Structure 1
Amino acid sequence: MAANSHFQGWVAHDPSAADGNMNWGSYTPKTFEESDVEMEISHCGVCGSDIHSLRSGWGPSDYPLVVGHEIIGRVTRVGKDVKDLKVGDRVGVGAQSECCESCRPCKMLQESNCNRMTMTYNSKHSNGDKSYGGYAKSWRGPASFAIPIPDGLLSEFAAPLMCGGVTVYSPLVSNGAGPGKRIGVVGVGGLGHFALLFAKALKCHEIVAISRSSSKKEDAIKLGADKFIATGEDPEWMTKNANSLDLIISTISGSFPLDQYLQLLDVNGTFVQLGAPDDPLPSFSPLGLIFKNLKIAGSLIGTRQHIRDMLELAKETNLQAWVQVRPMEEANQVLVDFEKGLPRYRYVLKN
């Protein structure tokens, strides 16, 4: 395949694309280098970040744009410098597709916080070329971020793990989730459902789902929750559940009363924020932190080792994401349905 050949995919030309106005067409992928691979895409998960980027919600996007960073496919071309992948291998690519390898985070094997990272779309590769994502037929990029998918793990389950899954797996394992730990998950949506699944897979002592209403209580219990808190239905929820958790994973992107959630943490507890609210969080009293030695943290995605470990755990525990597979041709309608809050709990596009 020629180095400057065109790929076919769903191309966004302006912010209206987020409303289901992407156009199927051609685009020029990254120039092929000997450290790269190409893959024929079979599946691509749909992430909330896709819609934010299509809409220029986190700042002006670099149109034309092809989104999608939960990509699974078969390798069709391998550069001469690639030693650990071959044509035919099934691989996945997540939200990051390149790192600088020289900054302090990279040297600490924490490349998901690289100072000059390349995101899988709406970003620039080290050679200056634009990065394009997985709402497409093919993907081309650095082999070092194409992770082999274990045999026995279905592609429709593996796809959303590449971003949504590792985004919760990373802070869980980094903050000691496991036997004896009491875990709270705020928000039962795409990320929240993964947090419940992985907390269960990690054999946490108690898993508590936290949501405004009890509409998703039945789902949360099926996903692994031992207990459910509906904050909008019980004015005493804070006092009834005070000091009951060691770790809270917050997946919600709207504003929320941080002070109230901190009351749920026991001594030495940690609150980790994953969702990215458009507005700042309300102020909170530092006394709550001081008196219980609490920590407030954030977490982005996950390292390549996190992804490898997560995929193995998913295989070993037969972890099955709650996915709805839709044809790639329906990508525009899928965006509309996503915005309506219809997925239970992740859409996956299939070629």
Structure 2
Amino acid sequence: MAAEPKFEGWLGKGPESAQGKMEWGAFPKVKTWDEGDVDIQITHCGICGSDVHTLSSGWGPTPYPCCVGHEIVGKAVRVGKNAEKGIKVGDRVGVGAQNSSCLRPDCEECSAGLENHCTRGVNTFASPYPDGQMSYGGYADYHRCPSHFVVKIPDAIKSDEAAPMLCGGITLYSPLKNNGCGPGKKVGIVGVGGLGHYGVMFAKALGADKVVGISRKAEKKDDVLKMGADEYIATDDDPDWANHHARSLDLIVSTVSSPKMPLMEYLQLLRTKGTFIQVGAPEDKLPDMNAFAFIAKGVKFGGSAIGPPWQIEEMLKFAADKGIHSWINKYSMKDANQAIIDFNAGKPRYRFVLENEKHL
């Protein structure tokens, strides 16, 4: 039997940890080992806005102490005898924002390959397992995960670029793929940051006729065009942008998580029978909406949450085949607190990744 790894990481012990005040320490309640599990020696972990929302208790009370990080890549160092997918010790693997679900045959979601919507799902951090043990994330040395939610990383994708795809990437790939992004479609990505930059690249690679990046400031325009966008809208610079571009898009995916977003103006951009998908999650509420924004053009408003394991695998293969590369800035794992401070200051271009040098 393989030795038990030493589970330590950056712990948030209260809301102040969201300001770069995490403390390194041992995990108090590591998941009980199961023969379907995989222990991952972490080499890289992406930083996601969800990490900060959790550290600050912005989405609700956080069960402190918590270790955040759910874009994990590393080496499988212990593999249970009942592990799925042929995972072996030494494989380069990853896990995203979901760590577990019930996987029961009578579960409508799990049986349909929609594990990400299972009501008994377990998040990769700050979430309890059925036995009361707690999940701890990837700002750490090791992570334990049920093998069903572990994915192999294609050889063509570097570990530091693969990590942020496991949440940021799938959060955009899934709604684009599920809502018909491809030839004949004109697609807008609202908020071209850590999430939105994947939306631009995936929409273009999926073959959309036109891809439009939509953000507040013009300063990102050159980057967004390099990512593959055909057009860029800077909403702060054109006071009449919603009228200038009205009825021009079939599908919009919004990554914005501010309750002050100009949602009614975004909806003006949709063509008749268009679709608006929200993936950003404000801490309080969405802006008010007028029903006629939907009724008049027969448009749909929906949401999307990450994606199931099979779709993450599909996305990684697609990214490898199409040569899609994450735009990242790297920090040492030991500098995680500074990375959080810089993240809060809006410095990512476009995704922060922690690198655990002692495991490279």
TM-score (norm 1): 0.97
CA drift at 1:9: 1.0
Query: Judging changes above 3 Å, is the alpha-carbon distance between structure 1 residues 44 and 33 closer, same or farther for their aligned structure 2 residues?
Result: same
Query: Structure 1: which amino acid aligns with 2:12?
Result: A
Aligned pairs for 1:251-270 (under 5 A) are 251-254=255-258, 255-270=260-275
Aligned pairs for 1:201-212 (under 5 A) are 201-212=205-216
User: Bigger CA drift: 24-33 or 237-246?
Assistant: 24-33
CA drift at 1:223: 1.1
Conservation of the 8 A alpha-carbon contact between 1:325 and 1:347: yes
Aligned pairs for 1:78-157 (under 5 A) are 78-83=79-84, 84-102=86-104, 103-157=107-161
Query: Structure 1: which amino acid aligns with 2:91?
Result: D
Aligned pairs for 1:1-351 (under 5 A) are 6-28=6-28, 29-83=30-84, 84-102=86-104, 103-254=107-258, 255-351=260-356
Query: Structure 2: which amino acid aligns with 1:239?
Result: N
Query: Judging changes above 3 Å, is the alpha-carbon distance between structure 1 residues 278 and 8 closer, same or farther for their aligned structure 2 residues?
Result: closer
Q: Deviations over 1:163-202 (max 9, x none)?
A: 0000010000000001111000111110111111111111
Aligned equivalents of 1:211, 1:315: Cα separation in 2: 27
Aligned equivalents of 2:47, 2:324: Cα separation in 1: 19
Aligned equivalents of 1:230, 1:78: Cα separation in 2: 49
CA drift at 1:261: 1.1
Query: Structure 1: which amino acid aligns with 2:42?
Result: I
Query: Structure 1: which amino acid aligns with 2:314?
Result: D
TM-score (norm 2): 0.95
CA drift at 1:128: 2.1
What is the SS of the residue equivalent to 2:148? Answer: helix
Aligned equivalents of 2:2, 2:52: Cα separation in 1: 31
Aligned equivalents of 1:81, 1:32: Cα separation in 2: 12
What is the SS of the residue equivalent to 2:296? Answer: helix
Query: Structure 2: which amino acid aligns with 1:350?
Result: E
CA drift at 1:283: 2.4
CA drift at 1:82: 1.4
Q: Deviations over 1:45-79 (max 9, x none)?
A: 00010011111111111111111000001100011
Aligned equivalents of 1:209, 1:343: Cα separation in 2: 17
What is the SS of the residue equivalent to 1:216? Answer: helix
Aligned equivalents of 2:9, 2:290: Cα separation in 1: 49
CA drift at 1:13: 1.2
User: Bigger CA drift: 85-94 or 225-234?
Assistant: 225-234
Alignment size in residue pairs:
351
Q: Which runs of 5+ in 1 are unaligned?
A: none
What is the SS of the residue equivalent to 2:199? Answer: helix
Aligned equivalents of 1:36, 1:347: Cα separation in 2: 28
Query: Judging changes above 3 Å, is the alpha-carbon distance between structure 1 residues 104 and 339 closer, same or farther for their aligned structure 2 residues?
Result: same
Aligned equivalents of 1:318, 1:349: Cα separation in 2: 22
Aligned equivalents of 1:264, 1:250: Cα separation in 2: 12
Query: Structure 2: which amino acid aligns with 1:176?
Result: G
What is the SS of the residue equivalent to 1:167? Answer: helix
Conservation of the 8 A alpha-carbon contact between 1:247 and 1:269: yes
Query: Structure 1: which amino acid aligns with 2:64?
Result: Y
CA drift at 1:2: 7.6
Conservation of the 8 A alpha-carbon contact between 2:122 and 2:128: yes
Query: Judging changes above 3 Å, is the alpha-carbon distance between structure 1 residues 310 and 275 closer, same or farther for their aligned structure 2 residues?
Result: same
User: Bigger CA drift: 160-169 or 106-115?
Assistant: 106-115
What is the SS of the residue equivalent to 2:68? Answer: coil
Query: Structure 1: which amino acid aligns with 2:9?
Result: G
Conservation of the 8 A alpha-carbon contact between 1:3 and 1:32: no
User: Bigger CA drift: 278-287 or 229-238?
Assistant: 278-287
CA drift at 1:4: 6.9
Q: Deviations over 1:264-304 (max 9, x none)?
A: 10111000111111232232222231221100001111111
CA drift at 1:5: 6.0
Aligned equivalents of 2:93, 2:5: Cα separation in 1: 22
What RMSD over aligned residues (CA atoms) do the two structures have, in Å? 1.4
Q: Which runs of 5+ in 2 are unaligned?
A: none
